A and B are shown apart, each in its own frame.
Chain A
């Protein structure tokens, strides 16, 4: 790899050939920059059996005919004739859901009709209008229900819906990549589920609203078998190797799951809600924000005592929304993650979660991109950590329940990671520290952050009347001393905790100080690699390595800051070579 010529001489300024802007005729594909591969053509795929060419008019003279040889493309499944399809309708309770949705969508015209019909003047119109307002959503609901139907043939899942605009969806069963179910409170009370079937495209999902439990389960079991068969995009993969065999490149890869995969009945992990409450309490911003808010309020009272009357403590009502802003984000996930269970099926991980609306998620193992362990300096004291994963599935990748375990005993991540990514080669003991200069960079940041803090207390001391200014000044000095002590502790800990390790097939790194993230990714899953150097990083010879996977959520892009520049470049090339040696089909 040549060294990067940031000050390389411009090859075009000396009047040499300028291939990009020359007006002279040029042969096609003449551009051959250094390092370009020789223009070799891949071997043509075997010709499929040719049927006799159709008799057609001969081509006009002088027209060169090119024969395009393409690999055989399996024909898209076509919907069988309507009379041979066994169509089904959603459960009749869907009428209620459709009625509620119709009311929501027609709320403005309905309100207008009711308002017009409530006038004092008695006429046929004023009596009929409220009737129309009631009948319209019922009519819409009935029409929607009776125009919605679905069928599962041997080739595809068919779905038809729409009153005015008729929609027909045909999802080939071999393209199905993910199944998920959702059931709200009403649906759970009546034993109904909403089933969403996804392919690799973002707009191709089919949502079957409110099936009976029997229909939903039979549909799920049938479609699960489809997911268990190799997808068309994985045709390059060798179906005979075991899930963690080595690929052609020597890198361990996943094989397509077995078509006869079974489904385990007992969950391998069940969330203890008390652990989740503890974890969310210490990892949210509440432990930091609540003391800060109290301290800020105290300083404000001392600085401007007139803003509060000793008889009127109604200002305390303001604390409600403030604490709500802090606490609600911390504990809202309890509803979505409550009742979390994880099943480890032979070919996938299956997850159910949700106190109110229960969501089920299927994540095929070969599509899981990385595993991330979230822990906090306080949660480590409690011995709890959270384990997340990232998958390339559209439905699962954008789900908010991308957890393997929302709260689990500390240091148990290798068990979950090996279940999701194969045998774990690396442990935290293998981590090598990043550059010790990261502590100096961190101190520079804290120094910059101290400027507004000093300015704030100086202004408060100047404004505060009489002896209060002394108190505010003393609080400022104490705060500054605490700030400096925290900065020193933080910077030293940062240099100790940030680290990385490279194994034969995996890359492990740890980032973060207060909120720590431990990320394990298989090298073959990397899609793009990036190095960034800020101005201060360049001065210290540091660089941030960012790795992109095919993950569709926020975890898809992960970064490790403050590597030594040479180390970052070496890692980038090593990981890029490992990624380039694996066919794309094995990584998605």
Chain B
């Protein structure tokens, strides 16, 4: 099984820290409102930072756990991905069932030379397999490998 590039861990940790901090704005705002309404000491306004910091730390930790639980592989017969922290997912697509392989990369992905690859199969109800934030050269190699699968 292959793990995602190390740079993904940094990317996810930054994103997790930011989103965790933003989500903690709600309890922080509640704390500030309570300080105003209940006429608590002004120093309590400083405590608004506590949930934000906790949220950011949890977000960074969660991103690391999420990274550790993401892996994928290509065998002679299929492409496979496993991921998930609370609920776990395992997706297997036989190589000769692949219809289309698409890639996309956002601005940050392009800065870090990363791409997200998605493998599509036939059928409207079939779920696709997406491997996020792989190195560009790895994505190219996968496309070549799966291209052989398409024509098998």
Q: Which A positions have Cβ atoms within 8 angstroms of B?
A: 2, 4-8, 10-13, 18-21, 26, 28-31, 33-37, 42, 369, 392, 397-398, 526-535, 537-538, 546, 548-557, 569, 572-573, 576-577, 579-580, 582-584, 587-588
Contact = CB atoms under 8 A, between A and B. Distances in A.
Contacts of B126: 527-528, 548-550, 556-557
15 contacts: A20-B137, A21-B6, A35-B73, A37-B76, A42-B151, A392-B122, A392-B123, A527-B94, A527-B97, A527-B122, A528-B93, A530-B91, A533-B87, A537-B87, A549-B125
B132 to A, nearest CB: 12
B6 A579 contact: no
Contacts of A553: 124-125
Given A20-B134, A528-B126, A584-B122, 20 more contacts: A10-B9, A18-B5, A20-B138, A29-B140, A33-B2, A35-B75, A36-B74, A37-B75, A392-B123, A528-B93, A530-B91, A532-B90, A533-B87, A533-B89, A552-B123, A556-B123, A556-B124, A579-B94, A583-B96, A584-B97
A557 B127 CA distance: 8
Contacts of B127: 528, 530, 546, 548, 557
Contact of B125 (A12, A13, A538, A556): A556
A478 to B, nearest CB: 37
B7 interface: yes
B114 interface: yes
Nearest to A7: B68
Given A7-B68, A33-B2, A533-B87, A21 B112 contact: yes
A527 B123 contact: yes
A488 to B, nearest CB: 27
Given A532-B89, A557-B125, A8 B71 contact: yes
Contact of B144 (A10, A13, A29): A29
B92 A42 contact: no
A548 B123 contact: yes
A580 B78 contact: yes
B148 interface: yes
A6 B82 contact: yes
Nearest to B94: A580
Interface of B: 1-3, 5-7, 9, 68-69, 71, 73-78, 82, 84, 86-97, 112-114, 121-129, 134-138, 140-142, 144-145, 148, 151-152
A18 B73 contact: no
A526 B77 CA distance: 14
B88 A35 contact: no
The main secondary structure of chain A at its interface with chain B is: loop
Contacts of B90: 4, 530-532, 569, 572
Nearest to B151: A42
Contacts of A528: 91-93, 97, 121, 123, 126-129
Given A35-B75, A528-B121, A580-B96, A6 B68 contact: yes
Contacts of A538: 87-88
A2 B75 CA distance: 11
Nearest to B90: A531
Contacts of B96: 580, 582-584
Contacts of A21: 5-7, 112-113, 135
A62 B106 CA distance: 37
A527 B78 CA distance: 11
Given A33-B74, A535-B86, A576-B92, A11 B3 contact: yes
B87 A34 contact: no
Given A530-B90, A572-B90, A19 B68 contact: no
A551 B121 CA distance: 11
Nearest to B98: A584
Contact of A550 (B1, B68, B78, B123): B123
A31 B129 CA distance: 20
Nearest to B1: A5
Contact of A36 (B1, B68, B91, B145): B145
Contacts of A549: 123, 125-126
Contacts of B76: 35, 37
B73 A34 contact: yes
Given A532-B89, A548-B125, A8 B137 contact: no
Contacts of B144: 29
Contacts of A10: 3, 6, 9, 68
Contacts of A526: 94, 97
A583 B137 contact: no
Contact of B1 (A8, A369, A557, A573): A8
A532 B87 contact: yes
Contacts of B95: 580
A554 B137 contact: no
A31 B146 CA distance: 13
B149 to A, nearest CB: 9
A510 to B, nearest CB: 20
In order of increasing CB-CB distance, the 9 nearest A-B pairs are A20-B135, A556-B125, A548-B126, A580-B94, A557-B125, A550-B122, A31-B141, A20-B5, A527-B121
A527 B126 CA distance: 7
A20 B114 contact: yes
B115 to A, nearest CB: 10
A551 B125 CA distance: 7
Given A20-B137, A20-B138, A554 B87 contact: no
Nearest to B82: A4
A28 to B, nearest CB: 8
Contacts of A527: 93-94, 97, 121-123, 126
Given A29-B140, A580-B77, A397 B124 contact: yes
Nearest to A534: B87
A587 B82 CA distance: 26
Contacts of B138: 19-20, 31
